[in-house]
Each structure stands twice: as C-alpha cells, then as structure tokens.
Amino acid sequence: MAAELESKVGLVTGGTSGIGRETAILFARAGAKVAVAGRREKEGEETVELIRAAGGDAVFVKTDVSKAADVDVLVKKAVEQFGRLDVAFNNAGIEGVWVPVARQSEKDFDRTISINLKGVWLCLKYELRQMLRQGGGGAIVNAGSIYGLIGDAGAAAYSASKWGVIGLTKSAALENARNGIRVNAVCPAAVKTAMADRLFGAAEVREFAINSHPLGRFGTPQEIAEAVVWMCSDRASFMTGQTLILDGGFLAGPTFRG
C-alpha cells in the first residue's frame, strides 16, 4: 500500500478485533502512527504488537466510547503520544439484542444506542475539537451499516443507532467543511467478524444471510479497512458528508436468493 497517510496520526475505536483491528494495521502500513482504542486490554495490546511487527508505531488506550471522560482521555493521550490528530475511524459498536420492538428491553435499547450512536457523537465531539485546535484539516470516518439505510424485523435498536450515525455524519460534515475537516461514513453489509458469527451462527441462518448478498459471500475486514484508508487519504479530498456502501450488492434490488 502506498504511504497515503505518511506522517499523519490516526485513531481507531473498536480496534481490538475485526474491521477496527484491520483498519488500525492498514493505517500504520499507510504511514500513520495509530492510537488504538477499545474495552479489551489484552486484544488491544495484540493489535499494537501486530502494528509494531509490521514496522508501525501505535499505542493502546482502554476506552469505553459511551463515556465522555474516556473519550476525552483517548484523544488527549493520542496527542500526548504523537503530537496531533489527523484521521479517525469511529468504529466501536455492538449488535445489541435483535428482538421485535414489543419485546425489546429498555436496558438493551439504551446500551445499543449508548455505544453505537452516543459513542460516535462523543468521538466526533472530541476529535473535532482537537482538529479545530490544530487549525483545521483532517478526515473522520464513522462506522455505519446498511441497517442505517434500511430496517429489518428484530433490528430496531441497531438500525436506529446506525440511522443516527448517518445523520451525525452529514451534520458534522456540513459544520466543518470550511475548516477542511471531512466527515464520512462507511456502510457495510455482513462482514466476516465475530459479530457476524454471533448474528448468523446457525447454519441455516448463515446460508440465508450469504444468499442475501448477490456476490454470494460476506465481506472481509480488509475490504472495509481499505475503503476507510482511502476515505481518510487525500485521494478522497472532495468527499464529505457521504455514505460509502460496501454490501456485495445487498441493496441493489430485491433480496437475492439464488
């Protein structure tokens, strides 16, 4: 990969596994120093070691993105360690509990919204403050989902959180465009991650989910990470307030069953 992020400092939340880990590694390979955030310290340090083994520089900051104090400390530690903040991928999220609205508990709903939506808002808030303090310039990508563009039976809390992420993305992009800060969202369909294993673990459910993607497979974390790196690079310099859909054809038309 070309050094698309040479001399930049990046931040990745949810960097302990899956798409977040892969993006943190690709940020480093693209030339960035990386602050890796997550709740699981062991897995976060493993991501840092993978980055260092690839010749990059990284630091892990244990972070619960639903807590303002944690996010504030995360951004401050990234700046203390590397001097500034240039790019960020707000990726931390959970699937929550997928049940019909009438059976959804308030606790489960609040937890999903707190991490998936409030967490992105808090990250944007403190990242943008830092970028503005530096004089502007920067790029932020938020983790959306195809469920931020559609609904599905049982997915109300998750879908609501991801629709909210897209609204946050567009608003933040408009507020900061003249400051040279670009804000976009990436919206994948099913990707080969631990979350997908939890959602589609049963063989018949997995087969149904795979056949809902016209390409006949799930995406990979690297495919999403490659897109995020591009969106954060100067090659995407005219892109802001947008949602990049990576869905294997899922939203192209009626659900595919072939």
**Identity of residue 151:** G
Q: In this structure, is residue 255 part of a structural domain?
A: no
Domain span at residue 68? 9-191+219-246
Q: In this structure, is residue 29 part of a structural domain?
A: yes
Give the pLDDT band (50/70/90) at residue 196.
Answer: low
Provide the whole-model pTM: 0.94
| Res 233: pLDDT | 98
SS3 state at 54? coil
Which CA distances in Å does 208 have to 23, 191, 252, 256? 28, 14, 17, 10
| Res 133: pLDDT | 98
Show the beta-strand stretches assigned E in the chain.
9-12, 33-38, 58-62, 87-90, 138-143, 181-188, 243-246
For residue 50, the 8-state DSSP code is: H
Q: In this structure, is residue 37 part of a structural domain?
A: yes
User: Is 158 among the catalytic positions?
Assistant: yes
The pLDDT tens digits of the residues spanning 121-174 come to 999 999 999 999 999 999 999 999 999 999 999 999 999 999 999 999 999 999
| Res 211: pLDDT | 80
Q: In this structure, is residue 175 part of a structural domain?
A: yes
Joined together, the tokens standing for residue 130 give: 């830092």
Catalytic-role residue among 82, 158, 218, 250: 158
The pLDDT tens digits of the residues spanning 163-185 come to 999 999 999 999 999 999 999 99
Give the pLDDT band (50/70/90) at residue 206.
Answer: confident
Kindly write down the DSSP assignment for every residue of 137-194, as one continuous string. Answer: -EEEEEE--GGGTS--TT-HHHHHHHHHHHHHHHHHHHHHGGGTEEEEEEEES-BSSH
- CATH classification at residue 144: 3.40.50.720
Nearest-angstrom CA–CA distance, 253 and 258? 13
Percent of residues, the chain, with pLDDT higher than 70: 95
The pLDDT tens digits of the residues spanning 15-59 come to 999 999 999 999 999 999 999 999 999 999 999 999 999 899 999
Q: In this structure, is residue 251 part of a structural domain?
A: no
- Cα 186–chain centre separation: 7
Q: In this structure, is residue 165 part of a structural domain?
A: yes
Q: In this structure, is residue 163 part of a structural domain?
A: yes
The total number of structural domains in the chain stands at 1
| 240-21-232 Cα angle (round to 5) | 20
Q: In this structure, is residue 126 part of a structural domain?
A: yes
